[in-house]
Amino acid sequence: MQQSSAPKVALATAITVAGGVVLWMAGSIPQGFGYDAVGPSLFPRIIGIGLLISGALSMLESFRPADDENGRADLRPVLLILGAMLLLAAGVRIAGWIPTAALVFLAGTIAFGDRRIVLNLVIGVVLAGIILIAFNEGLGLNLPLGPLSRIGG
């Protein structure tokens, strides 16, 4: 079954548009005055033009017959994983490393089809806990303790 070229066209368009945006942003980078005669906007401009050209080439290539394909994609586990990671980013200072990292672990296991939520949550907590102890005590790095910081510390 031939893969439709619509997604490839979309990608090529995205690349081309990105090139345009980069080129436009490059225009607003203030020039230096230095002896280097080239300034900070040269490379961004080259990148913008490069993306435009790549986008155009990709567009042409997207109508070639596809010899590789992926099958259907299930994006829900992808969103689950990304969500857990973003949750950690947002909450790690408030809630601490252990619960947020445990949730990342849990999200990974659920995404790969393991439905034993309680078991995996426990494993996640233990894993995160080991990491916390090893890093904070052993290596002197500082993973946030969150509410735990009120105990001793």
Q: Which is nearer to other proteins, 47 or 148 (CB)?
A: 47
Q: Which is nearer to other proteins, 61 or 147 (CB)?
A: 61
Q: Which is nearer to other proteins, 38 or 147 (CB)?
A: 38
Q: Which residues contact 40 (CB under 8 A, 6 or more apart)?
A: 29, 30, 31, 32
Nearest-approach distance from CB 58 to other proteins, in angstroms: 3
Nearest-approach distance from CB 2 to other proteins, in angstroms: 15
Question: Is residue 56 within a helix (H) or strand (E), and if so which, with residue range?
Answer: helix 42-61
User: Counting Cβ atoms within 10 Å, is residue 97 exposed (0-12), middle (13-18) or buried (19+)?
Assistant: buried
Nearest-approach distance from CB 55 to other proteins, in angstroms: 7
Q: Which is nearer to other proteins, 25 or 147 (CB)?
A: 25
Nearest-approach distance from CB 93 to other proteins, in angstroms: 7
Which of 55, 45, 51 has its CA nearest to residue 12? Answer: 55
